Amino acid sequence: MLPDLSGYFLILERIFAIIGTGLYLIFAIVIVKQVSMMSKNVYDKFNGVVIVVSYIHLALAVFLMLMSIIWP
Amino acid sequence: MVRAKDLDLVAPDEVVIEKIEPKLQTSNKIDNNMKEFRQKMYDVLGHTKHSLSSFLVKPKSFKFTEQDDQEEIILVMRPHWFTNVSWVITTIFMLMVPTLARFLPVWNGVPLRYQMLGILFWYMVTLAFALEKFLSWYFDVFIITDERVIDIEFNNLLDKKFSEAKISMIQDVTSMVAGVSQTMLNYGDVRIQTAAEIPEICFEKVPNPDKVIKVLQMMRQEEEQEAIDGRVR
Contacts of B141 in chain A (CB under 8 A): 42
Give the Cα separation of B171 and B193 in Å (integer).
6
Q: How far apart are CA A32 and CA A4, in angstroms?
A: 44
Contact B157 A60 (CB under 8 A): no
B70 touches chain A (CB under 8 A): no
The single-letter DSSP state of residue B158 is: T
Tell me the longest C-alpha to C-alpha distance in chain A.
68
Q: What is the pLDDT of residue B43?
A: 78
Q: What is the pLDDT of residues B78-127, one digit of tens each?
A: 999 999 999 999 999 999 999 888 888 888 777 777 788 788 889 988 99
Alpha-carbon distance B86 to B130, whole Å? Answer: 11
Considering only the beta carbons, identify the residue of A28, A38, A44 that sits closest to B154: A38
Pick from B125, B131, B160: CB nearest A53: B131
Q: Give pLDDT tens digits for B1-60.
A: 455 555 555 555 555 555 555 555 666 766 777 777 777 777 777 777 677 788 888 888
State which residues form the domain around A48: 22-70
A17 contact partners, CB below 8 Å, separation of at least 6: A68, B114, B117
ipTM: 0.81
Q: What is the pLDDT of residue B24?
A: 59
Nearest 5°: phi and psi at B218?
A: -65, -40
Closest residue, chain B, to A68 (C-alpha): B117
All structural domains of chain B with their residue ranges: 44-79+140-228, 84-135
Among B207, B177, B178, B202, CA closest to B190: B202
**pTM score, whole prediction:** 0.79
- Give the pLDDT confidence score for residue B205 in this predicted structure: 92
User: What confidence tier does B143 reach under pLDDT thresholds 50, 70, 90?
Assistant: very high
CB-CB: which of B52, B121, B141 is closest to A20?
B121
CA pair distance A67, B40, nearest whole angstrom: 60
A32 within domain boundaries = yes
- Separation CA B33–CA B50 (nearest Å): 30
Asked if residue A2 belongs to a domain, the reply is no
Closest-CA residue of B relative to A31 is B157
The answer to whether B160 faces chain A, any CB pair under 8 Å, is yes
Tell me how many domains chain A contains: 1
Q: Do A54 and B131 touch (CB under 8 A)?
A: yes
Assigned domain for A51 exists = yes
**Which of A40, A44, A51, A56 to mutate against chain B (most B CBs within 10 Å)?**
A44
**Residue B82 confidence (pLDDT):** 94
B35 vs B229: CA distance, rounded Å: 15
What is the tens place of the pLDDT at every residue in B184-205?
999 999 999 988 777 888 999 9
A6 touches chain B (CB under 8 A): no
- CATH T-level topology, domain B44-79+140-228: PH-domain like (2.30.29)
For B:77-136, CB contacts with A below 8 A are 113-114, 117, 120-121, 124-125, 127-128, 131-132, 135
Residue at A10 is within a domain: no
pLDDT of residue B159: 77
Q: Is residue A17 part of a domain?
A: no
Closest CA to B138 of B179, B87, B214: B87
Q: What is d(CA B44, CA B221) in angstroms, rounded to the nearest whole number? A: 15
